[in-house]
Structures are given as C-alpha cells and as structure tokens.
Amino acid sequence: MCIRYFKQITLLGILLVFLSLMTAFAANIVIVNADGAGEGFNDPTIATPIGGNTGTTLGAQRLEVFRYAAQIWGAYLDSEVVIEVEAQFDPLSCNSSSAVLGSAGATTVHRNFINAPLSDTWYPQALANALAGSDLQPTVPDLGATFNSSIDNNNTCLLGTSWYLGLDGDNGGDIDLADVVIHEIGHGLGFASYVDELTGKRFFSMIDIYSANLEDHSESLTWDLMTDAQRHTSAIDTGDLHFIGGNVDAAVGHAPMYAPNSVEQGSSVSHWSTSFTPNQLMEPFITNPPIHDPGLAFELMLDIGWLADIGNNLPAVNISSPINGDTFVAGSAVNLNASASDIEDGNLSDSINWNSNLVGSLGAGNSLVVVFNTVGEHTISANVSDADSGSATAEVLIEITPAVSVIPNEPTDVTAIMGETWPQVSWTSKSQEASFSIWRDSPHKKRAGMFVGGTEIGTVEAVTSFNDITGDAGTFRYCVRANNSAGSSDWICSTTTVVVASDSTGGGGNTGGGGGNFCEAHPNHKRC
Ligand SMILES: [Zn+2]
Ligand SMILES: [Zn+2]
C-alpha cells in the first residue's frame, strides 16, 4: 500500500460554519467546516465514541479529530492572529490498495509584508499573519484541507480499511486520522517548499522561507543561492539534501530531507527523509504506531520564523456601552455591553463581570440592562479572567443625575456685555437645571423691537456664564434657557444688545442701549 501526502498551494472556498476552540493553547487554530449538509463533517451516520473522541456521528467525530490536531500545533506555536483551517471531507481517488488520504496547504503565500524577516521571500499566510501581527488576508482562511471520505464510506477503498477516529493512537489496522491531520496542518503552517522540484523554478521567481533553509551538502550551497538547475539537481540528491536552520541544526545537525532520485511531486523536498529513528511526523509515509507530536518539525517551524508558545497571554476586554462620560437620569435602564477574548481561551464575553464602584456587582455577561438609582459618578468596570488566572479590566465613567419631573425654572438676570475680548453672557440660575442653552439674534434693521437671524450658539453645564467666541461682528442680543431631562424653560433674553465691531476679535466694542419694549421675537416663536 502506497499512501502519499499531497501538498497544495491554492485552495479557496466558502466559509460555512465557524467553530471556535475554547481550551487552552497559544495559537488559536480553528477549523472552518466547508462541508455541505449531510456530508463530510456533517455526515449524520451514527457513530460510537471511541478512543477519547466523544462525537456520536461520523461527521462530529471527524471534526473532533481536526480540532484535536489543531490544538496540538496551537500549543507549540504563538500567534496573536487566529489561524483558520478550512477543511472538508470529499470522495478522493481510492482503489483497493492505494488512496489519496488528503491534501492540505497554505491557501496563500505572502512576501514583503510588515515585519517580514527576509525580503522577497514567501511565507505561508498563517506564519505571515503571526509575524505581521494582523490578518494579511482576512477574507481567506490560512490553510485549506481536503480529506478522503471514501476511506470511511466504501469498503472497496483500501480493502475495507477505515479512518481511525480515536484520539489515542490505538488505531489497530486502520489509518490514524489524527496523525494525518496533524501532518497536513504542519504542511500548511510552513513545512513545505514552494519550489517546483521538476524544474527548480521558484514560486513567482522568489524563494520561500522553507526552501531558503535547504542545503545541498555536496554543493555547500543553500537553495536561495542556487540556479534553477542546481535546485532541481539538489531535489533528487538523496542523502545530501539537508535542512540547516539553526534550531534544527542544534537538535540533530543537518537534517536529511526526502529526496528520492526521481522527483515524487508532493513528497520530495517537503518532508523529512525516511531515515529518522524513531520516525518523525513529517516523513512522507504514514508510520505505525501513529505520531501525534510535531517532533523535529517544531524546531523547523522556529527556523522559518514561528515563535514558540511564550506562556499565557492575557485576555482583552472592551466596553462598547455605555460610552465614557455618558449621563443618565436615576431610574433609567442602562445597556452594558462588552466583549472579551483571549488567545488561549477564545471568546470570553459570556464571563465578563460588571461592577460599579458605588453599588458593587452589577452582574455577569456580555450584555446586561441595569437600572441605576444611585446618584453620582459611577466607575463601571468590566472584568474578565482567563483559564490561567490572567485578567483584564476595562472601565468607563458615567454620571447618574437626580430624577426630575418638572421642567426647570427660567434663568433670571440675563445680562450681555462686551468683555475684554468676547461678548459675555451671564445669568442667575434657579433650580433643577442640567444645562443652559444660549441663543443669539440681532435687531431687525427696519422693524424696531423685532429680532432676526437667531441661532443657538452653545450649551453649558454647571456654570452661569458664556463667552461668545465666534468672533462674529454685529449687534447681538443673547437669550438663555434652562434644560433638564423633563424639558426646557422659556428663553429669557437680555434687555440690552452688544455691538461687536468687525475688527474687534481682540477687544473694544460698545454696550448698546437697546432696551425697551421689544416685540418679543423669542427664538421659540419667532414672529412679531
Ligand atoms: Zn506530507
Ligand atoms: Zn548538510
């Protein structure tokens, strides 16, 4: 039985279901289920839980194996960007003795992105994202994977051999799916050359970071420095094709790669040599017993630019409502909304704890409605903890004002004078005002006592004066009204007008003696 892994570079598809892992790991690798209803990951065939796989349908068990495989890589590597593996099970070629198990690879490769360690060098998307610290292609999953569903569904496929769906490696005579998925995800994370081994040509004439670490030992040359012909020759230079990145070298010295003397596309170059003892996960042929550990491939990942898991990352929490500085009247319902996430633990929004420094605990969850009765300035905090006791808190300040049921009294003594620099308006407050609005208008040129051109020019809180800093020239009258949550008082206007000369942004001006029995062109009923 000859079973090969295939790599592929381009694989695009449609996101159907997005599954988020909730357990602890450092890079969050999620499986995007690309299968249709009733097939692949959605196959409803009843299945008995096996080997630690708790799924009760064939589809659920397949998905659980993928999630398990994703977590294994996630525990080794570090990335602040979620890694998406778009995966599906489809019937692939298979006969009684040979089958394609599955194929997987990076969906896109990137070069010359921000923080790229080497210029003009391809990096697979998941690695490029991790290095850049952001998703360079957010609409496209980072890895694509297609696995052969016929192995489960067709007894003539591999003479009745099926996928083993347990997680314990106790596969008997079946093919350990976890081993294969971990292997394939390894390719998608960067254990792959993008050089065409048949021609030695680089992918769009640029070397990839994996191939840049390949050496032909007999030539003492690395692949980035070779001609196409030299690379092709090296790809079939059995025993002399080595991976020489510093971490791999420190572990085993120059590591031999799979380089049979005629190119096996999809296998040559992008695997370890079969000479390793014990066997390595990233050898080209599946071995027994199954391997669920990256082994030396972890050192290789460090050599191409991945960072190792650095321990616990702290969660992040963000309050979207209320907004800092919001004011509410006592007794009103306030929406509390926040989101929280954690690299290791995923979405933590449901475990956010809310507090007010004045009234204590407000409850838990990502969305609450709380009625505030305690007047004063509340510091509202949203706190979340991750599985490793890391925590984060976000805060906003809100003010709860006394409830009022009557509109405020009109201000009195509204006075407008020309100050040193600006017209100054002042008044006397009465009671229960939350704010004051200021209106400005001008005497009608022909109709004595009528005011025109009015406009509201400002609102103030907690003070009883206002400077008209617009710099506008003219003859102005100013009016003030008081506001609270119940409504607004009438406008009360100054009995004098202020003259602002056209050049008087800096002082001067006169106080005009308007006075008299104006036809009250109140701003709130502007007619005479
Ligand atoms: Zn492989
Ligand atoms: Zn070497």
Give the whole-angstrom CA distance, residue 352 versus residue 339.
8
The answer to whether position 428 is within a domain reads yes
Residue 528 has pLDDT above 50, yes or no: no
Residue pair 35/15 in contact by the 8 Å Cβ criterion: no
> What is the 6 CA–ligand 1 centroid distance (Å)?
6
Instruction: Give the closest ligand to the alpha carbon of residue 183.
Output: 1
> What is the 82 CA–ligand 1 centroid distance (Å)?
23
Instruction: Give the closest ligand to the alpha carbon of residue 189.
Output: 1
When comparing pLDDT for 483 and 258, which is higher? 258
**CA 182 to chain centroid:** 25
Residue 20 has pLDDT above 60, yes or no: no
- Which residues make Cβ contacts (< 8 Å) with residue 411, sequence separation at least 6? 427, 428, 429, 430, 433, 436, 464, 480, 481, 482, 489, 492
Pairing of strands 121-124, 207-208: parallel
Q: What pLDDT shows up at residue 137?
A: 93
Instruction: Give the closest ligand to the alpha carbon of residue 218.
Output: 2
Residue pair 136/125 in contact by the 8 Å Cβ criterion: yes
Clarify whether residues 173 and 250 are in a common domain: yes
Mean pLDDT of 250-274: 96
Give the whole-angstrom CA distance, residue 504 versus residue 464.
24
Instruction: Give the closest ligand to the alpha carbon of residue 249.
Output: 2
Domain of residue 493: give its range: 412-512
> What is the 5 CA–ligand 1 centroid distance (Å)?
5
CA-nearest of 353, 259, 266 to 315 is 353
Residue 343 has pLDDT above 80, yes or no: no
pTM of the predicted structure, to 2 decimals: 0.58
> What is the 237 CA–ligand 1 centroid distance (Å)?
19
Clarify whether residues 497 and 382 are in a common domain: no
Residue 521 has pLDDT above 70, yes or no: no
Q: What is the CATH number of the domain that holds 345?
A: 2.60.40.10
Give the whole-angstrom CA distance, residue 233 versus residue 254.
18
Mean pLDDT of 108-125: 96
- Provide the percentage of residues in the chain whose pLDDT is more than 70: 88
Q: What pLDDT shows up at residue 344?
A: 67
Clarify whether residues 299 and 369 are in a common domain: no
Q: What pLDDT shows up at residue 526?
A: 38
Clarify whether residues 393 and 430 are in a common domain: no
The answer to whether position 108 is within a domain reads yes
Clarify whether residues 385 and 292 are in a common domain: no
> What is the 204 CA–ligand 1 centroid distance (Å)?
23
> Tokens 């003219």 label which residue?
474
> What is the 300 CA–ligand 1 centroid distance (Å)?
14
Q: What pLDDT shows up at residue 520?
A: 39
Clarify whether residues 357 and 440 are in a common domain: no
> What is the 346 CA–ligand 1 centroid distance (Å)?
29
The answer to whether position 338 is within a domain reads yes
Q: From residue 45, how far is each of 42, 59, 146, 324 by CA, in Å?
A: 9, 7, 20, 52
Confidence of residue 207 (pLDDT cuts 50, 70, 90): very high
Alpha helices in 118-244 (DSSP H): 125-132, 150-153, 177-189, 228-235
- Which residues make Cβ contacts (< 8 Å) with residue 399, sequence separation at least 6? 325, 326, 327, 328, 376, 377, 378
Pick from 3-7, 46-50, 385-389, 508-512: least confident: 3-7
Instruction: Give the closest ligand to the alpha carbon of residue 280.
Output: 1
Q: What pLDDT shows up at residue 503?
A: 63
Confidence of residue 98 (pLDDT cuts 50, 70, 90): confident
Residue finishing a domain among 308, 343, 376: 308
Clarify whether residues 352 and 435 are in a common domain: no
Clarify whether residues 449 and 366 are in a common domain: no
> What is the 105 CA–ligand 1 centroid distance (Å)?
10
Pick from 165-174, 319-328, 342-351: least confident: 342-351
Residue pair 484/433 in contact by the 8 Å Cβ criterion: yes
Clarify whether residues 444 and 386 are in a common domain: no
Clarify whether residues 6 and 90 are in a common domain: yes
Clarify whether residues 294 and 332 are in a common domain: no
Residue finishing a domain among 373, 401, 429: 401
The answer to whether position 527 is within a domain reads no
Residue 23 has pLDDT above 80, yes or no: no
Long-range CB pairs of 355-360, under 8 A, 24+ apart, other chains included: 355/380, 355/381, 355/383, 356/380, 356/381, 357/381
Mean pLDDT of 469-483: 90
> Tokens 């009438």 label which residue?
490
Mean pLDDT of 118-135: 96
Pairing of strands 143-148, 83-90: parallel
Pick from 7-11, 105-109, 304-308: least confident: 7-11
Residue pair 394/381 in contact by the 8 Å Cβ criterion: yes
> What is the 275 CA–ligand 2 centroid distance (Å)?
15
Structure tokens that stand for 257 in this block: 């790669």
> What is the 241 CA–ligand 2 centroid distance (Å)?
7
Which of 130-134, 343-347, 515-519 tops mean pLDDT? 130-134
Q: From residue 2, how far is each of 198, 268, 293 by CA, in Å?
A: 21, 15, 23
Pick from 140-149, 172-181, 344-353: least confident: 344-353
The answer to whether position 209 is within a domain reads yes
Confidence of residue 312 (pLDDT cuts 50, 70, 90): low
Burial of 266 (0-12, 13-18, 19+ CB in 10 A): buried
CA-nearest of 217, 226, 188 to 107 is 188
- Provide the percentage of residues in the chain whose pLDDT is more than 90: 60
When comparing pLDDT for 392 and 69, which is higher? 69
Residue 63 has pLDDT above 80, yes or no: yes
Pick from 126-140, 198-212, 305-319, 405-419: least confident: 305-319
Instruction: Give the closest ligand to the alpha carbon of residue 103.
Output: 1
DSSP string, 83-151: EEEEEEEE---B-SSEEEEEEEEES-EE-S-TT-SSTTEEEEHHHHHHHHTS-SSTTS-SEEEEEETHH
> What is the 267 CA–ligand 1 centroid distance (Å)?
6
Would you call 374 helix, strand, or coil by DSSP? coil
Count structural domains, the chain. Answer: 3
Instruction: Give the closest ligand to the alpha carbon of residue 239.
Output: 2
The answer to whether position 294 is within a domain reads yes
> Tokens 């990137």 label which residue?
110
Instruction: Give the closest ligand to the alpha carbon of residue 254.
Output: 2
> What is the 76 CA–ligand 1 centroid distance (Å)?
19
Which strands make up the sheet holding 353-356, listed edge to edge? 327-329, 391-401, 376-385, 353-356, 360-364
Residue pair 301/210 in contact by the 8 Å Cβ criterion: no
The answer to whether position 520 is within a domain reads no
Would you call 41 helix, strand, or coil by DSSP? helix
> What is the 183 CA–ligand 1 centroid distance (Å)?
6
Confidence of residue 480 (pLDDT cuts 50, 70, 90): very high
Q: What pLDDT shows up at residue 311?
A: 63
> What is the 354 CA–ligand 1 centroid distance (Å)?
49
Residue 72 has pLDDT above 70, yes or no: yes
Instruction: Give the closest ligand to the alpha carbon of residue 223.
Output: 2
The answer to whether position 528 is within a domain reads no
> What is the 65 CA–ligand 1 centroid distance (Å)?
18
Residue 514 has pLDDT above 70, yes or no: no
Residue finishing a domain among 308, 340, 355: 308
CA-nearest of 441, 445, 436 to 454 is 441
When comparing pLDDT for 297 and 312, which is higher? 297
> What is the 99 CA–ligand 1 centroid distance (Å)?
14
Instruction: Give the closest ligand to the alpha carbon of residue 186.
Output: 1
Clarify whether residues 288 and 327 are in a common domain: no
Give the whole-angstrom CA distance, residue 243 versus residue 212.
9
> What is the 353 CA–ligand 2 centroid distance (Å)?
56
